[in-house]
Structure formats: structure tokens, C-alpha cells
A and B are shown apart, each in its own frame.
Chain A
Amino acid sequence: VIAIKVAGRASRRRTQRALLESKYWILGLTAAAWVVLALLASRAHVHRHVAGGAHVARVGDLSTFTAHWLLMVVAMMWPLSIPHVDVTRVQVRRDWRLRAAAAVLLGSTLVWLALGIVGFAAYGILVYALPRIGHVAWLVGWLNIAAILTRSHRRNMLLRSCGKSTPIRIAGLGCVTSAFKAGVRTCLPCVALCGAAMAAMVAPHPLWLLVALSLVTWREQARPKKWLDPAPPLVIGAAALTIAVFGPGT
């Protein structure tokens, strides 16, 4: 009887645990973001959050950019947050898990948003100064920087601090604020690691570039200590070359 009770309890626990696993709802939202991005790209051919042609871009409005940028963050960066969100859930009381997980995601998303807005302003200035080549120069320039950074041995050191979180309170307002701070804190090394690739995508770009850079980024998380993995610089370099030769509308 005891064995049956214990087995039943374990089974219930497994079911509850599975339903509460944050990775499922994060991945669900990520999948939804990809669907929306694909739909937008199919309507516009080139996935652009600014108005204008493939070779001469004009800066669009900030609200449209922000909406597109947030979609990209959800699509590309949220899956990388899953380990942090998982740990956060364990660190807080059960009734605060959802709020803490949301606060971690909000913290990291706002860091990416800040990067996007700064990049958006810088991109606007560049396109204003160099209307005919600014767009391509921005994309190719940042992609080259991203490719070079993948070869830096210091990247290995940075990847080491990627996981370090800050203490999270178990309940109450302190739980939410500390989880938010942890989200910001854990995101900062990610910005140093992946910021160049993300910065490139401030400019109008084809969906395939977002897919390629996402795969590179996810691969790095899956193999964070694979020394000088040749795939990321090859993929990013090929993307930069394609855009330089055929233009960003490809």
C-alpha cells in the first residue's frame, strides 16, 4: 500500500512538474514569435522594420521598430533564457514561480530592448549620413565584428560568467525585483557575446539572416565550451559575404 501511495505521489509530482516547466511556455511563445515573423516576412519579402527599398533605407517609426525588435528578442533570445528561468523557479516559493520567471524574462528583454533602441538611433544616423551604402555597411560591418568575436579566446572566459545569477528572494515584492535584477545581470554577458549579431539586425534584413544567426547563437549555448568552433564564423561570414555581394534584399 505504501509503495502504491509513493508511486502515485511520484506520478502526480511528475505531471505537475511537467506542466510547470517554464521551458514549454517559453518555447511556445518563441514558436509564436517565429510564426509572426515569418508571416511578416512573407508579406514584405524582406523582413524589415523600417520603410524603404533594399538598397536605400529610411528610418521608420520607433514603435514599429520596437514591436519587431521585441518579436526578434522573443524568437532568438528567449530560448537562451530557459536555464536561468528554470533555476529561478526553484529558488522561489511555488506560488511566486510564475511571477519570478516573468520578471527574469522581463529583465533580460529590457536589456535587449535598450540595445535595440541605441542601435536604432545609431543606424538612423548612419543611413542619414550615407543614404546609399549605410544600410549594407551597417549589416556587413556588424556581421564581420560578430564573426571576428567568435574567434576571440576571451569569449571562452565570458561564456564562463554567463551563468552567474544574483540571489533571488523566495516571495513577495523582493522576489519580483530580485528576479528582475537577476534577469538583467544574466543578460549582460549575453549582450557582450551576441550583441554584435543582434546589432546587425537593427537594420532591415531578410528572414534567413535571423534564422542563421539564431542557429549560431543557439549552437553556442549548446556547446559553450567548444573551443574555436569553426561553424559560427563560417555561417556569419557567409551571411556577410552574401549581403555584400547580392544586397540585403536576398
Chain B
Amino acid sequence: MAPRIRNNVWKLSVGTDAKATNDPWHPTLHAYERAVAAMLLRPSGATDSWWFLANTHRTYDPPPANALWNACEHRRMYFLAWHRAYLVWFERAIQRTIGDDSWALPYWSYEDPAQPTWMQLPPEFRVPRHRVNGSLVDNALYVQLRAPDVNTPNPMTGAGVLKPARVSVVNAMARTQFVRRSPDVGFGGQLPPGMVFGAVESLPHNNVHVDVGGQTGLMWDPATAARDPIFWLHHANIDRLWEVWRTMPWAVPIETDPAVPPAARNAYMATDYVFGYSTAPSRYAAADVVNTTSAQLDYVYDSIALPNALRQAVDAARAQAVPGGPMGLDDLEPPEWFAHAESADLSIPKDGGSFSIGEDGGVLGLEEDLPGGLLLQFNGVRTASPAPGYRVKIAASADGVEHDAGELTTFGLGQALDEGGFDYSVDATALVPKLVEDGWRGGPLQIRVEPEEAAGWRTEAGLTIASVKVFLR
């Protein structure tokens, strides 16, 4: 039997709120809605209940004995594989509920700037009621607890529509390796024991959670995110993007990366992803999980082609090599990063702030040789009330031109998932020529951390940062 096909939800959608309310839906979405409605009624201890499935990701509820809840993998190289197995387990639960083992989870593809409509939540997820057999009934895919305007988007003003820059896949797709050693980050994460967001986990994954959930919605909080039916389509897209990246000619998956220590590769490939109750778990072995057409997973996506405009942007990003620098993105064993300077115990006000880094860090003589890389590592970032994200900007001096280096994404940051705070790596290698042009020769850098804004969002607290380090190579 052919593998089941996961389709783009916007190609299944009726397209408008009016049609979503009154017209019949595509059978895949209709079945999903009916399944969610049925699963919501089941007790949380039943493995096929909506609550059990969602709480497996993370929850504030106390788990029943032997229930494998709070198991989600974030900020680790297992992020993509764990969520892939989780989606298949979820898909099987839906199939059992509707009695159709050919049903496949659709995906929400929001990353193509050429398709602005797709950056809206599909109408089937935003209408409160819809007509079934002539009667209006509650729509189980609708969730009120979302960011303002997400359920009522306005393409003219952009309200409730995802912003292309916040869902960009360019940085992730440009990565050569799935994992890299600290302080660097690959497409999927960092080698253990590193705990930072992988490139695709940061963007677009985190920002879609934050922008759909808003400051008080379900998707914003890892403990409630999976209770929103769009969560699963969002993660199906992240899973698809993994497949898209694997088709890139430069992509080096962990299974074949000679730069990954054998111990780390063996640990990754010997992993079992388990769900349900520990007494009778559903088990997915890593060797099966890395291949979507394995007997246990058995699915494909309708498209894993990167749209042309995005491919060009990715190629441009990869072409941004440092003149004279010794490394390229394809170099699997680039020169080692070395810690160059540090600022510690920083407080950033809620409306942003800047700091200098490197006064006591010594000066690298760059007159003869540009560094092959520049990376900022943020350690122990904490806040009680994060912004939707923070832009990181670098200048060669306090009054110099600020250059955008990247973003600190905030999914999970406000929930203090980790008492030590979050760590981030921001690769600013592409800025080296500009900084040198501005007069930087390895001395102090001026860093600005600037909160991003979103409709209805109130950032109540600043950031504390244990340390920021400058790495060079």
C-alpha cells in the first residue's frame, strides 16, 4: 500500500470564513474536526483522549501513574525526531477515532512569502461554528485562546497574519549540518550536552507558537500548546521542513555526518520515543523515525520542494562568506570557535537596552586577517514577561551603525521551563565585513537587545542575562 500523503491544509481549505461556516469541508478536515470533538469528551486518563495526547507534550496537570506526560523535547537535538514520532502517534489516535487508517494529518505551510494568504490561520480553524447536516454546530478546531486577530485576520492591515520575517526558513535551510558543537547550532540543534534552540526550532517554529498563541493563548505556552488543534498542523509543517532541508544539496544529516562523534550519533540512533503508559507504551525507534516511509511511519508530504524565491534567498545567505575567511558553510570541520570576550550579569530593561562587550576582553589584531566567524552566545536568559522576540543588533562602537544579527525567540521563556534560563547562539558571521568596514578590529562591540512588538502584547519585565560571550574563529 502506498504511504499516506500529508497535504497542505490551504489546498484542502474552503478558503473563506463564510464558506467554512456554511459549506461542506474537505473530508480530511471534516474528519479531523469530528475526531477532536469526540476526543475532547474522553477522560484525560484515556490514551486516545485529547487531554492525554496534549499533556504528553507538556502540562500543568498531575499525570496519572505511569503516564508518559511532559515528555516534549525542546532545545535539544532530539526536538525534530521526538515531535515526528509524537505526530505519528497522534495521527494513529485520530485514525482509530474516525475508523480510517488512511487519514493523514495536513500541514500548515506559512513560510512562503509568495503565498501571503497561507500566512493566515486556515478558516476551518477560526470559525466558531460550522454547518453539519444543515445545522450549525460548535467547531472543535476553533480555539478562542489565540492572539488577537488571529481568528479574524485582515490581509489589508496585516492584523492576525504571520509576518514573513518571523516565519522565515532561510537561516535554517542554509545550514549545512543537522547538529553542530557548542557554541554553534545546526538545522536541528546542538550536540549534547548543549541546550539551545536549533535553527528550525527557533525560526519558524518558536515564532509561530508565539504569534498564534499571543501572550495568553494556548499555543504560547508549551504546557498548553498541544491543546490547540492547529498545533499539530504547525508541527507537521516543521516536520515537512525537515524533509525539505534533507533535499538541499548541502544537507548533512546526523546519520552520515563525519564531524559528529560516533558516541553522539549512536546515542541519537539508539533512541526510542515512547508514548502512552509506561506499562504498555507505543514505541518508535530512531532508525524508523528518521525515515518517513519506514513501515512504522509510512507517510510522505505532497510537496517537499522549496519555493523558488526561498531557494534564491537561501543561496544568497550561503553566499555571504567572509572575504579572506578560512571557512565556508560546507566545511564540515571548520576552525574551532574560541571565546574572545564576555559581559556578565546583565539587565535589559523591558523596552530594550544595549551594553558593551569586550572592554576587558583583549583586542584581537585583525589588521592582517579577518576572523572566519563571529558568534554571540547568550547564557542564562530569563524573564517573567518576555516580548514576542528580541532583535539582537551589533555595532562596532557606541555611536556606530547597528547591524541586525538575529533574534532571540521566546517560546517557553516566560514559563521558566528551565530555572537556569535559556541559552541562545546568534551567528553574526555575515556581519564581520560590515563591522570591519565600520572600524572594528576585535575590540569592544556594542550589542543592543530590542524587544519586538505585537498587537495587544504587553511586555511587563526586562531580561536578565547571566552572560553574553563573543566567539571568534
Q: Tell me if A222 and B338 are in contact (CB < 8 A).
A: no
**Complex CA–CA separation, A9 to B372 (angstroms):** 12
Q: Across the interface, name the chain B residue whose C-beta is closest to A186.
A: B193
**Complex CA–CA separation, A130 to B357 (angstroms):** 62
Chain B interface main SS type: loop
**Complex CA–CA separation, A228 to B183 (angstroms):** 32
Instruction: Tell whether A50 is near chain B: CB-to-CB under 8 Å.
Output: no
Interface residues, chain A, CB within 8 Å of chain B? 6, 9-10, 13-14, 17, 83-84, 86-87, 90-94, 153, 156-157, 160, 162-167, 169-171, 174, 186, 221-228
Q: Tell me if B267 and A224 are in contact (CB < 8 A).
A: yes
Instruction: Tell whether B406 is near chain A: CB-to-CB under 8 Å.
Output: no
Q: Tell me if B270 and A225 are in contact (CB < 8 A).
A: yes
Q: Tell me if B337 and A223 are in contact (CB < 8 A).
A: no
Instruction: Tell whether B181 is near chain A: CB-to-CB under 8 Å.
Output: yes
Q: Which of B181, B281, B333, B336 has the most CB of A within 10 A?
A: B336
**Distance of A2 from chain B, by nearest CB (Å):** 8
Q: Which of B193, B273, B344 has the most CB of A within 10 A?
A: B193
Interface size on B, residues (CB 8 A): 44
Instruction: Tell whether B50 is near chain A: CB-to-CB under 8 Å.
Output: no
Asked, given contacts A83-B193, A167-B380, A222-B267, whether A10 binds B339 with beta carbons under 8 Å apart, the answer is: no
**Complex CA–CA separation, A165 to B344 (angstroms):** 16
Interface residues of B in 367-384 (CB under 8 A from A): 379-380
Q: Tell me if A90 and B195 are in contact (CB < 8 A).
A: no
Q: Across the interface, name the chain A residue whose C-beta is closest to B183.
A: A90
Asked, given contacts A9-B326, A87-B193, whether A94 binds B271 with beta carbons under 8 Å apart, the answer is: no
Interface residues, chain B, CB within 8 Å of chain A? 66, 68, 70-71, 73, 76, 78, 181-183, 192-195, 263, 266-267, 270-274, 278, 281, 283, 326, 333, 335-342, 344, 361, 379-380, 418, 420, 466-467, 469
User: What residues on B are CB-neighbors of A14 within 8 Å?
Assistant: 333
Q: Across the interface, name the chain B residue whose C-beta is closest to A13.
A: B335
**Distance of B384 from chain A, by nearest CB (Å):** 20
Select which of B71, B340, B342 is within 8 A of A169 by beta carbon. Answer: B342
Q: Which of A14, A84, A227 has the most CB of B within 10 A?
A: A227
User: What residues on B are CB-neighbors of A92 within 8 Å?
Assistant: 339
Asked, given contacts A9-B326, A225-B267, whether A170 binds B193 with beta carbons under 8 Å apart, the answer is: no
Q: Tell me if A170 and B339 are in contact (CB < 8 A).
A: yes
Can you sample 23 A-B contacts with CB below 8 Å? A6-B326, A9-B335, A10-B326, A13-B335, A13-B336, A86-B181, A87-B182, A90-B338, A157-B70, A160-B76, A163-B194, A166-B466, A167-B344, A167-B379, A167-B380, A170-B339, A170-B469, A222-B263, A225-B270, A225-B272, A226-B270, A227-B274, A228-B278
**Complex CA–CA separation, A94 to B364 (angstroms):** 13
Select which of A83, A94, A164, A227 is within 8 A of B283 by beta carbon. Answer: A227
Asked, given contacts A90-B339, A94-B338, whether A226 binds B68 with beta carbons under 8 Å apart, the answer is: no
Q: Tell me if A93 and B335 are in contact (CB < 8 A).
A: no
**Distance of A114 from chain B, by nearest CB (Å):** 22
A222-B266, A225-B270 are known contacts; what are 4 more A-B pairs with Cβ within 8 Å? Answer: A9-B335, A153-B68, A170-B339, A222-B263
Q: Tell me if A226 and B272 are in contact (CB < 8 A).
A: yes
Q: Across the interface, name the chain A residue whose C-beta is closest to B423.
A: A167
Q: Across the interface, name the chain A residue whose C-beta is closest to B272.
A: A227
**Complex CA–CA separation, A213 to B409 (angstroms):** 42
